[in-house]
Chains A and B, each alone.
Chain A
Amino acid sequence: MSFHLQREQQFKELEDFIDSVPEKTSSLITVLHKAQEIFGYLPEDVQKFVAVKLDQPIAEVNGVVTFYSYFTETPTGKHIINVCMGTACFVKGSAEILDEFERKLNIKVGETTPDGKYTLQVLRCVGACGLAPVVTVDDRVYGHFTKQMVGKTLEEYN
């Protein structure tokens, strides 16, 4: 499928979703969640599209996008690695694990590898503190993580 056609379908999907929302005035965050699910991130044209469809100023849409850490304006890699930096994980050494990921991937937190394979992020507590320190890759949770597991985990997703 050509990039252009795929993009068109994505916008169509978003439009259908917005049309199905009964209550437009308060649905901005709900719509942005859906948009990010469809596009993977929220580029300018998507934000503009949402603004027009919901009849809200683009500045307001952008204000919401940049306020919440869940929304991102830059594309993410194929796999998203999250190192939990909640307190329980932090006191059990998650900062060292993050260092190791940064070193192995040669990127800083928040960045994506040049090949578009991995994005490295931190999050604040997934609520699985019994497994601290925790790392998540996409939807999978890895508990009792150690620095030594970094290499092996990356290989799993290679």
Chain B
Amino acid sequence: MNRINSYEELQKINQENSEKLKMRTPSHEEELAVENKRCQRIITVCGGTGCQSSDSTKIMDCLKQEIEKEGLSDEVTVSITGCFGFCEKGPIVKINPDNTFYVHVTPADAREIVTEHLLNGRAVRRLLYEEPAVKQAVRRQDEMCFYKKQNRIALRNCGFINPEDITEFIGAKGYLALGKVLTTMSPDDVIKVITDSGLRGRGGGGYPTGKKWYFAKIKEADQKYIICNADEGDPGAFMDRSILEGDPNSVLEAMAIAGYSIGASKGYIYIRAEYPLAVNRIMIALNQARELGLLGNNILGTDFHFDVELKYGAGAFVCGEETALIHSIEGKRGEPTNKPPFPAESGLWEKPTCVNNVETLANVPAIILNGADWYSSIGTAGSKGTKVFALAGKINNVGLVEVPMGTTLREIIYDIGGGIKNGRKFKAVQTGGPSGGCIPAENLDLPIDYESLTAIGSMMGSGGMIVMDEDNCMVDIAKFYLEFTVEESCGKCTPCRIGNKRLLEILTRITNGNGTEDDLKTLKELGQIIKDTSLCGLGQTAPNPVLSTMKYFWNEYVAHVKEHRCPAGVCKTLVQFEITDKCIGCTKCAKNCPVSCISGDVKKKHLIHQDRCIKCGACYSSCPVNAIIKV
């Protein structure tokens, strides 16, 4: 493709390509018009990490083969797209203009999709999503409960365009915001729009983005830097990965806009080495953008220069903290340093640096194009716009959801998430990753934003939401997070390095049944001290999972300490497996026992010899009649 030399040329390319994308947003009439007919169609197949590991690439190949076999190649296009967010139901295939959303597709389904849908124009009913509440198949994406309450701004192009084709991105208004900024706005104008929009950092802290840009702008220097923080380390959060895989250009565009605003000509994306697909997609986007002159020198014929380089993380959670991240880009150990000086004054190689998270950046082009008022009309008083949450754990609809700030947990977990798996009872939802806390059922109706989550002892964090049911032990969960922070603590400051280790020792004691009431007191005191005295965000928030579970699930701690009992039956040393009279003597448990500690004759009740039992639970899960219980 040729270099684009002006904003006008870009607008022309946008118009040409937006025509091509029209088929993907059909009107109701257009949808009806193609029923039972053969016509021009576009099939988009999810190419995110989740769907790809369930064979979505093979599905694409099979569809293409079948289409060729039936001679439909001129009529039907098959294209890859980014994550639809409904990962639970993947792999997902969407057909337009009839707006049909297929779930759990396998390569073997390609034949039927081609013969039934493409040749006869009829949807393959067995591949449609069935709404559990009404037990009815739903054909259209926007009619599913999972999507109804969503407002996709950061995820606007995920599941819509081909992330490996920059012309589709331009067709979806891509780089128009950059063009508008470069030709009609001053850096101060841009910063004002972002400030007025109320956009705040989506990586955890929630610092106002406009302010961050402003401080980096007013600092004078010969060189400044924009860094995109793609070191998505919170276990259970995967929105940044999805955006980079599904819409890498929007992040590049936003970085260029940020660069123009603060006066930087160089940007870095710091990305986890564990995200090979995202890395690949960014590389493709980078090359295409450079080829079109949307990155590099004299962008769109202006005198603005900006280019982006990738830097890989190497598996250190603390590198999500901005000062640590900067040191890691410099090739050093990723240890944080005291702020001030803030990176806006002295960051990468001691130059003014602005570090923004992936999701934050993905919002920027939309705000520039639609205006600050549009964005700030969504959300709550203190938190504007939308937030992407990664729903995971014991929930029916695992996936990525983007909702306006102020949506309640109940709406997210029950209306969108479809409630708890296997009809179990909701116990808690953990937000904010290892820095956040557990929220109990009594707070389900809380409208969530930055402030409300902090007020109840958790935090927004990057938006991971792990749902737990009655089978999860909250002391064990607190211990799990502490194990994580102890392992990831960089060791620079004492409260975090030693304090958290002590917390973990106490929690281990408690889950082993050796905890005392004094231990509970120490946990609280020490937790508070670590929060107050640690150097960086990692240490300052590390005790949150402990303190919040102690606050809301105090009874479970007491049960472990006073009664030496784990109410959820998770903590191994406190649990005993016993065989009840329901036993039919099938011998399955005895066969599965790895230490042969179960005895009994065929068709007679079996017995577990507790002295040799290692409490692995193999018998418990192998019993066909649920005769084995945890006591």
Q: How far is the CA of A96 from the CA of B236 in the complex (A)?
A: 18
A-B contact pairs, 15 of them (CB 8 A): A27-B331, A28-B331, A67-B333, A67-B490, A68-B313, A87-B464, A91-B468, A91-B477, A125-B234, A125-B237, A125-B238, A129-B390, A129-B392, A139-B276, A147-B618
Could you tell me the distance between the alpha carbons of A27 and B328 in the complex, rounded to whole angstroms?
10
A90 touches B480 (CB 8 A): yes
Classify the interface of chain A: helix, strand, loop or mixed: mixed
Q: How far is the CA of A99 from the CA of B87 in the complex (A)?
A: 27
Which of A29, A85, A130, A141 contacts B328, CB < 8 Å? A29
- Assess the A63–B333 pair: CB atoms within 8 A: yes
9 new A-B contacts at CB < 8 Å, known A71-B314, A87-B430: A64-B331, A68-B334, A70-B315, A88-B235, A88-B466, A92-B393, A125-B234, A127-B274, A128-B238
Interface residues of B in 316-353 (CB under 8 A from A): 316-317, 328-335
Q: Verify A67–B316 contact, CB threshold 8 A.
A: yes
Q: If the complex has contacts A64-B333, A67-B490, A131-B53, are A126 and B399 also in contact, measured as CB distance less than 8 A?
A: no
Contact present for B393 and A68 (CB under 8 Å): no
State which of B87, B398, B621 has its C-beta within 8 Å of the C-beta of A147. B621
The answer to whether A128 and B49 touch across the interface, beta carbons within 8 angstroms, is yes
B304 is an interface residue with CB less than 8 A from chain A: no
Interface assignment of B594: CB less than 8 Å from any CB of chain A: yes
Residues of chain A at interface, number, CB under 8 A: 42
- CB contacts (< 8 Å) of B617 on chain A: these are 96
Chain A residues within 8 Å of B398, by CB: 88, 129-130, 132
Query: Is A130 touching B88 in the complex (CB atoms < 8 A)?
Result: yes
Q: Which of A28, A99, A131, A147 contacts B54 (CB 8 A)?
A: A131
Residue of B nearest to A134 (CB): B53
CB pair A68–B241 under 8 Å, yes or no, is no
Which residues between 335 and 388 of chain B lie within 8 Å of chain A, taking CB atoms? 335
Contact between chains at B393 and A127 (CB < 8 Å): no
Contact in complex: A87, B238 (CB < 8 Å): no
Given contacts A127-B232, A128-B238, A130-B399, contact A143 B53 (CB under 8 A): yes
Beta-carbon contacts under 8 Å, B384-427 to A? 390, 392-394, 398-399
B392 touches A132 (CB 8 A): yes
CB proximity of A99 to chain B, nearest CB, Å: 7
For the complex of A and B, 8 pairs with smallest distance between CB atoms: A130-B87, A86-B235, A68-B314, A88-B392, A127-B238, A141-B53, A70-B315, A28-B331
Binding site for A on B (CB under 8 A): 49-50, 53-54, 87-88, 90, 232-238, 241-242, 273-276, 311-317, 328-335, 390, 392-394, 398-399, 430, 433, 464, 466, 468, 472, 477, 480-481, 484, 490, 594, 616-618, 621
Provide the bound-state CA to CA distance between A64 and B313, in Å: 12
B236 to A87, Cβ gap below 8 A?
Answer: yes
Q: B50 is contacted by which of A27, A29, A71, A130 (Cβ under 8 Å)?
A: A130
Is the beta-carbon distance between A143 and B312 smaller than 8 angstroms? no
Query: Does chain B have a CB within 8 A of A6?
Result: no
A26 touches B331 (CB 8 A): yes
B235 & A33 in contact (Cβ 8 Å cutoff): no
Contact A67 B334 (CB under 8 A): yes
Q: Is the CB of B232 within 8 A of A91?
A: no
Contact status A127-B392, CB under 8 Å: no
User: Which residues from B are CB-within-8-Å of A81?
Assistant: none
Residue of B nearest to A126 (CB): B274
**CB of A18 closer than 8 Å to a CB of B:** no
Are the CB atoms of B331 and A29 closer together than 8 Å?
Answer: yes
CB pair B480–A33 under 8 Å, yes or no, is no
User: Which A residues are in CB contact (< 8 Å) with B314?
Assistant: 29, 32-33, 68-71
Which residues of the partner chain A approach B238 to less than 8 Å between Cβ atoms?
Answer: 125, 127-129
Closest to B233 in A: A124
A91→B421 CA distance, assembly (Å): 12
Contact indicator B433/A87 (Cβ below 8 Å): yes
Query: Does A4 reach chain B (CB closer than 8 Å)?
Result: no
A26 contacts B334, CB within 8 Å? no
Residues of A within 8 A of B235 (CB): 85-88, 90, 124-125
> Which A residues touch B481, using CB under 8 A?
87
Residues of A within 8 A of B334 (CB): 67-68
The listed residue (B317, B335, B466) touching A124 by CB distance below 8 A is B317
When chains A and B are docked, how far (Å) is the Cα of A33 from the Cα of B617?
40
Contact residues in A for B54 (Cβ distance below 8 Å): 131, 143
Choose among B87, B472, B618 the residue that contacts A91 (Cβ–Cβ < 8 A): B472
Residue from B312, B314, B328 having most chain A Cβ neighbours under 10 A: B314
Is A26 in contact with B232, judged by CB distance below 8 angstroms?
no
Q: Knowing A67-B490, A68-B315, A128-B50 touch, does A123 contact B331 (C-beta < 8 A)?
A: no
Q: Are B464 and A92 in contact (CB under 8 A)?
A: no
Closest to B51 in A: A130
A103 within 8 A of B: yes
Residue with the greatest number of chain B CB neighbours at <10 A, chosen from A27, A68, A87, A126: A87
**Which residues of the partner chain A approach B236 to less than 8 Å between Cβ atoms?**
86-88, 125, 129
Q: Which residue from A87, A103, A140 sits with its C-beta under 8 Å from B480?
A: A87
CA gap between A126 and B433 in the complex, in Å: 15
Q: Which of A93-135 contact B (CB under 8 A)?
A: 96, 99, 103, 123-132
Residue of B nearest to A64 (CB): B333
A143 CB, min distance to chain B CBs, angstroms: 6
Nearest B-chain residue to A85, judged by Cβ: B235
